[in-house]
Amino acid sequence: MLCLVPSELVRFYSRFLRRPEVICAPSCLLLSGALTMSLQSPGFKMLRLQRTKLGGLGLRLYRGLHHKPVMAVRREDVNAWERRAPLAPRHIKGITNLGYKVLIQPSNRRAIHDKEYVKAGGILQEDISEACLILGVKRPPEDKLIPKKTYAFFSHTIKAQEANMGLLDEILKQEIRLIDYEKMVDHRGIRVVAFGQWAGVAGMINILHGMGLRLLALGHHTPFMGAQEIFNELPCEYVEPHELKEVSQTGDLRKVYGTVLSRHHHLVRKTDGIYDPVDYDKYPEHYISRFNTDIAPYTSCFINGIYWETNTPRLLTRQDAESLLAPGKSPIVGVEGCPTLPHKLVAICDISADTGGSIEFMTECTTIEHPFCMYDADQHIIHDRKYNGVDIWKSWFTAKVSYSQIKRVASPSVEGSGILMCSIDNLPAQLPIEATEYFGDMLYPYVEEMILSDATQPLESQNFSPVVRDAVIASNGALADKYKYIQKLRESRERAQSLSMATKKKVLVLGTGYVSEPVLEYLSRDANIEITVGSDIKNQIELLGKKYNINPVIMEIGKHDEKLGSLVAKQDLVISLLPYVLHPFVAKACITSRVNMVTASYITPALKELEKSVEDAGITVIGELGLDPGLDHMLAMETIDTAKEVGATIESYISYCGGLPAPEHSDNPLRYKFSWSPVGVLMNIMQPATYLLNGKVVNVAGGVSFLDAVTPMDYYPGLNLEGYPNRDSTKYAEIYGISSAHTLLRGTLRYKGYAKALNGFVKLGLINRDAFPALQPEAKPLTWKELLCDLVGISRSSKHAVLKEAVSKKLGGDNTQMAAVEQLGLLGNEQVPRAESVVDALSKHLAMKLSYGPGEKDMIVMRDSFGIRHPSGHLENKTIDLVVYGDVKGFSAMAKTVGLPTAMAAKMLLDGEIQAKGLIGPFSKEIYRPILERIKAEGIIYTTQSTISS
């Protein structure tokens, strides 16, 4: 793959980004080699490259035949822009000099005029039925095929492409011998006949020209307006792929940076993140591409020419496009006349033109007449290329509009968010003369043996070289042995299509909260999964139904046991995203119907009681698959298992994790915001905690005294974090298998000031789960002022100053806690929400006051610290950091980091990747390794760092 980074673009890039932009172009080695040569050649006159001299024919067979066979060059008649031919006049001259008769079917469209072929000895003739070999570039119309002839052209049938199966059927029916240029390869498997170089040249011209038009529409006049001139002017420098990030930010603005990518730069095995070329060739489905995270974020344009099959990883998916097109932050604020780009990625040129292939959202090819379109990632649509009947691109190419006019005319198609796409499936046709001569030079050595092919005789009787023999797709009414797999592919596809509805895997998702959407989005990527969503919140389920293809079911879990059981019985898997108290109800229904289940929540004692029943049912129930618990377990187990493999022991493990508002949105008394019911968060500080510190068990009481256990965190000092222990950490010595550890602590992170504010609420009795009759539905409405009067023991009619003094006394005169109470309106006359308890009422109040507003985003911060003693006696201090921000127009950080691991585990269960049975967590390599690898592809990236001491 070839990656380019523009920078003599300095004059316009420096205006709005003050740093170079990167153009990335994945392409095959042939393409990258051709372009590298072209870019480095002095003067670079791509249309005047010195042509190779015609060599002699590679084979001189059957000398002395009295009646030599006849060859024909057919007219290209499928595409109006196809002006190439398989051979140029000088090749025809060489063939006729050997005594062969060559027929040329007339064509006014062919780039090389008919008279040039006649001068070379060809015979201009419409009827080519006399020929035994008929050469073309693209497929002929089915109704123009002539029986029992040998044809050579690009058939596009070797992947059982559905669009060309009718052609293949007709070829078999008419007993035609088909030679496909694409399969003419040498002993190394490298193609010996191809237009590849000229596809790359034309593609590069197109996309640079297209980028000029696109950037013009975005408000910039650029050197890209003339592609050939740019190549003459721009200096190029190639860098290694891992250097792209750096040069995109700090590179020389006077250069065009590029890189050449190979498989090992972006392909990794799902289970362990390693690339093994031998294993990949055997099992490509076991690999994923990191192109979307390691290369694409630092590119402005890339050119793709890789060969893709259905079992190989994609370079970019639709979800990747959404992420890459998210508005980026520019260090320079745009001003009128010098706007910033809406996003980093500007353009894609897909030379492979493989619809729905390595670039999933490239679903239709563009054409030479209409070379560009805009892909809108938000709506998954391709914008029209015309405006008021005017083809804006054609008008530009034919100089019918000026620079100023193109901006006005092009606006509906090229302004706003989106990627400029160019995916012409016959790129070399834009340089038809050069492409014809280049292709003909490669084909010429094999022409004579192809002329001598007799399609009426058995294939095995023909004296073909391996290059030609192995390119014969069909002969004598049957597929050649090497290509019989095409029929199997067809049958497999047809069988899959006919059985798709019957074989769909059925998943029930219970709950429609903030985590549900990432789960639905991830599972919806597999068209073979049928999703049912159950919830008692009608408006939420209706909203999800508008975005995803789901079967909505309105039901209240815990009250409709019979309905739940009936629904579960029809599923292959259940995902419970409900409050943790409802998981046992769901688990019981799964046990009864022997259906697997996953959840992001803790494996509670109530779930643990069902462990024997789960085992007896022979099903798998996986819990603790979210963030905390979830990814924290997985990251811990990866480090622990790796340490054990080298004979090391874990001496200490400390893990802190927190979901927080992004710093700019933390300006409230709690320094915190809620995206779901605050009850669980508030009650957490009332729970006792236990941890192990330097070999001693430390017990922390909940409630007022929990503030004593809060400690400032010295990492990420700019965030000003504090942490406190969470639940019982000591049990993880057994769960993680680290009984050697003298320190074990799992805790929660918050911004400094959170704990103190909540401590004030505890002092006032606001975090109390006991029933409170005055808040019941039948009771008289109550204001917060009146409720606080009750809680501090004064008359409800007390004046504000009296209440404030009483509250302050209750808080021990702490001004910070008092300010939090006042700022949240707890001394005012706003009505208290109806609720079962005071903390439930406070939860509803805080959910309204401290919820995320439009444009606000959250973040999650996790830090795992390990002390690892190695057999050498050295101590390794290892840290793992995970920081994820929410997307303003997408999912929150918490939703992503909880929902995606849960969805991945669900998919693994459906696909049979997880074989374990029983009630389990994500503690085995079978589960955590694939998930930790796959989250990277979703932009959830963690970093590690180690220091060694004696």
> Which active-site residues does the annotation give?
628
Neighbour-count burial of 162, counting CB atoms closer than 10 A to its CB (0-12 exposed, 13-18 middle, 19+ buried):
exposed
Alpha carbon dihedral 585, 588, 592, 598, in 10-degree steps, equals 90
Residues composing the chain: 950
- Provide the b/e sequence for 392-414 (b: ≥16 CB within 10 Å): bbbbbeeeebeeeebbebbeebb
Beta carbons of 299 and 345 less than 8 angstroms apart: yes
Instruction: Give the angle subtended at the CA of 886 by the CAs of 880 and 892, to the nearest 5°.
Output: 110
Backbone φ and ψ for 945, nearest 5 degrees, come out as -150, 140
> From CA 406, how far away is CA 768, in angstroms rounded?
67
What residues have CB less than 8 Å from 175, skipping those under 6 apart? 147, 148, 455, 456, 476, 477
What residues have CB less than 8 Å from 866, skipping those under 6 apart? 639, 640, 643, 650, 652, 653, 876, 877, 878, 879, 880
Q: Distances in Å between the alpha carbon of 790 and those of 772, 797, 805?
A: 11, 10, 14
What DSSP element (H or E) covers 152? strand 150-153
> From CA 942, how far away is CA 391, in angstroms rounded?
47
* DSSP alpha helix (H) spans, 837-892: 838-849
Partners of 103 in the β-ladder: 72, 123
* DSSP alpha helix (H) spans, 325-465: 392-397, 403-414, 432-443, 447-451
Percentages (nearest 5) of helix, strand, coil residues in the chain: 40, 20, 40
Q: Distances in Å between the alpha carbon of 24 and those of 258, 305, 348, 699, 890?
A: 7, 12, 9, 55, 25
Beta carbons of 140 and 168 less than 8 angstroms apart: no
The pair of three-digit structure tokens given for residue 899, joined into one six-digit string: 């929902």
For 805, other C-beta atoms within 10 Å of its C-beta total 14
The pair of three-digit structure tokens given for residue 360, joined into one six-digit string: 């999933």
> From CA 157, how far away is CA 138, in angstroms rounded?
12
Place of tokens 């808080």: 811
**Three-state DSSP class for residue 183:** helix
